[in-house]
Chains A and B, each alone.
Chain A
Amino acid sequence: MVRTLALAGAVCLAPAAFGQDGTARNLASACAICHGTDGRAVTKEVTPLAGLPREHIAAQMRAFRDGQRPATVMHQLAKGYTDAQIDALAAWFSSQKR
């Protein structure tokens, strides 16, 4: 199974491989305007989210939201997401190839 998915990722993904987690994928797609498609950053100014540990992403989002981590913009955006959405985003980005 693991091998199959790895192969699928390397060759070309069939639609069946998507869909199960469409909500997280859709939520995450909005972040791409600054963080790059699937969280693969194209500039050095932003954090590349793809493949980061999920606990780290979730903790940082909560720190932005709760004002514990200073930011230029993320403190304002993180307040727009529920705990469940933060966890879903963190899980989705952590599962993306770097």
Chain B
Amino acid sequence: MKRREFLKLAGAVSVAGCATPAPSKARVVVVGGGFGGATAAKYIRKWDPSIEVVLVERESAFVSCPISNLVLGGYSSLADISRNYDALRRHGVQVVRDEVTAIDAPKKTVRLARGGELAYERLIVSPGIDFNFGELQGYEAAMQAGSVLHAWKAGPQTAALRTQLEQMRDGGVYVLSIPMAPYRCPPGPYERASIVAAYFKQAKPRSKVLVLDANPDITSKAGLFKRAWSDLYPKIIEYRGNSRAVAVDGNARIVKLELDDVKGDVLNVVPPHRAADLAEKAGLITTNNRWCDVDWRTMESKAVKGVHVLGDATLSAPAMPKSASMANNHAKIAAAAVVELLNGRNPEPFKIINTCYSFVSPKEAIRVSSVHEWEPTQGTLVAVKGSGGVSAARSEAEGAYAWSWARTIWADSLA
């Protein structure tokens, strides 16, 4: 390519930072600015700057679920785990603070809460999760009264739960109720139990962490968590498997299980999840009234053509957790596919990596990793045989890597 030809080509497309704006090739609308949506918006612009990208996000800032358990223990702050969307704008992403209320797939438009519609050539929806509050009698009323919290979306509930833990008397009981898998962040509840226990051990040592798990056993890194609990918090954490919460009595501070009632001072009950409300409204939910099945080569919805779904809202592929690392890598599959499709080429199957760190004390962490690739006969992503695994042991080195991973994935997704 000669220089003049290059400049002509560059002038023919719209590129952030280039002097002459020109008509874009196509517009992609991305709904949701979490790990999935933000990454997709950034990487589409990075991989084809001639595509116009509009990101619709209802919050003014991103707050990270990973590391938010350290905020509960007082070892980090909401400011540490929050990022604004300015850096994405520098990639030429148009960030619109609004909420998508409806998707018209045949017309290829989304409707915005503040009025008006946005047309798209391809739509990427990374809606996250919402809760099936109906499965827990009394939950919503108790939550509105502030007597039960989930804190399973980082933000105001994280701050509220931290305050409740600080105000709890020494000798009190913190109850953490975990829903049946699949849920967002499989090791997250056990990390939370560990970090709250670390805080109790230091600040109110007669207190207890009571873990009520709907699952029969710890669902992720079980050996490493059990070892940490018996070494570090033997008199603080009590774990009960097969203990599914069915109701909450906020006034009496009681979590009702199928067979008995449990009383606590701070009630942290995480309800079962499903793909968020927008996915439901848009007809993207395909499975068990909860999750969105996708073509794992492109992340395109199996229910609605031209719409790609990312992150925790998806019907997970085998052995794939609902995690930030996965949402970020789902976004790259979708970004590459959208770029290829809008350029008249065929998307290629991907290979992606999951890595999830969990703190078991303020400084020590454990990890689980896996590599996932397209398997044509099964028609899905599968874990590559012989790859992946967990930490050899908890360590401060893994803790340093955990912070490194967090800062890096925040930057890879949002900066």
Contact = CB atoms under 8 A, between A and B. Distances in A.
A76 B388 contact: yes
Interface residues of A, number: 40
A3 B350 CA distance: 32
Interface in A1-49: 1, 3-4, 7-8, 11-16, 18-19, 22-23, 25-27, 29-37, 41-43, 45-46
A2 B47 CA distance: 21
A64 to B, nearest CB: 11
A42 B22 CA distance: 33
Contact of B412 (A25, A37, A73, A77): A37
Given A30-B329, A81-B371, A76 B411 contact: no
Given A14-B10, A31-B353, A43-B408, A4 B2 contact: yes
B408 A41 contact: yes
Given A14-B10, A45-B400, A33 B355 contact: yes
A79 B387 contact: yes
Contacts of B48: 15, 18
Nearest to A85: B351
Nearest to A31: B353
Interface in B1-47: 1-3, 6, 9-10, 13, 15-18, 43, 46-47
B404 A73 contact: no
Given A3-B3, A14-B9, A33-B355, A72 B397 contact: yes
A32 B367 contact: no
B387 A76 contact: yes
Contacts of A27: 350-351
Interface string B380-415: 000010111101100101101101110111011000
B6 to A, nearest CB: 5
Interface residues on B, range: 35 or more
Contacts of A33: 325, 328-329, 353, 355, 405, 408-409, 412
A48 to B, nearest CB: 11
Interface string B159-180: 0000000000000000000000
Contacts of B2: 4
Contacts of A32: 328, 408, 412
A41 B412 CA distance: 10
A35 B353 contact: no
B15 A12 contact: yes
Nearest to B42: A37
Contact of B49 (A15, A37, A80, A85): A15
Interface in A61-92: 72-73, 76-77, 79-81, 85
Nearest to B390: A76
B386 A79 contact: yes
Nearest to B401: A45
A13 B10 CA distance: 7
A71 B271 CA distance: 38
Contacts of B50: 14-15
A88 B329 CA distance: 19
B273 interface: no
A35 B408 contact: yes
B404 A34 contact: yes
Interface in B332-357: 332, 336, 339-340, 343, 345, 348, 350-353, 355
A98 B118 CA distance: 38
26 contacts: A7-B6, A12-B49, A14-B9, A14-B50, A15-B48, A15-B50, A15-B343, A23-B348, A26-B348, A26-B351, A30-B332, A33-B405, A34-B401, A36-B408, A41-B408, A43-B407, A43-B408, A45-B403, A73-B355, A73-B369, A73-B391, A73-B401, A76-B387, A79-B384, A79-B387, A80-B386
Interface of B: 1-3, 6, 9-10, 13, 15-18, 43, 46-50, 325, 328-329, 332, 336, 339-340, 343, 345, 348, 350-353, 355, 367, 369-371, 373, 384, 386-389, 391-392, 395, 397-398, 400-401, 403-405, 407-409, 411-412
